[in-house]
Amino acid sequence: GAVVSQHPSRVICKSGTSVKIECRSLDFQATTMFWYRQFPKQSLMLMATSNEGSKATYEQGVEKDKFLINHASLTLSTLTVTSAHPEDSSFYICSARGFLAGDDNEQFFGPGTRLTVL
């Protein structure tokens, strides 16, 4: 199946700093990428949907100025958590959907990034 990578896999940062997470589709062109967040023992919650070359669509309650999403190419989307605080500590997972990657609706998930804000 199609492969999606994320970097870094784990990051620990101080409160107030910004953290950038990269999501890459390695063997297909991702027309749409999704960013999810998962707190312990909770379900994955969609944060935003990004289409290549256009602004991301954020879910209700997700601050677009705090979680900056850039989908500049068909293989790369980035999520920047600005001025991170301890409550932003979570497991951030991206997924991608696109041409020649499974059926039209299948999303392929990255391995996730575990963020800990001290």
**List of residues contacting other proteins (CB under 8 A):** 32, 34, 41-46, 49, 91, 93, 95, 97, 105-107, 109-112, 114
CB of 16 to other proteins, least distance (A): 26
Angle 59-83-92 (CA atoms, 0-180°, nearest 5)?
A: 50
CB of 20 to other proteins, least distance (A): 19
CB of 43 to other proteins, least distance (A): 4
Per DSSP, which regions of 9-101 are E strands?
A: 10-13, 19-25, 29-38, 45-51, 57-58, 67-73, 76-81, 90-99
Is the Cβ of residue 27 or residue 106 nearer to other proteins in the bound state? 106
CA atoms within 13 A on the CB side of 37: 17
Is the Cβ of residue 87 or residue 105 nearer to other proteins in the bound state? 105
What is the C-alpha separation between 103 and 87, in angstroms, rounded?
A: 36
Is the Cβ of residue 82 or residue 89 nearer to other proteins in the bound state? 89
Spatial contact of 99 and 28, defined as CB atoms under 8 Å apart: yes
Angle 67-68-70 (CA atoms, 0-180°, nearest 5)?
A: 140
Is the Cβ of residue 16 or residue 92 nearer to other proteins in the bound state? 92
CB of 109 to other proteins, least distance (A): 4
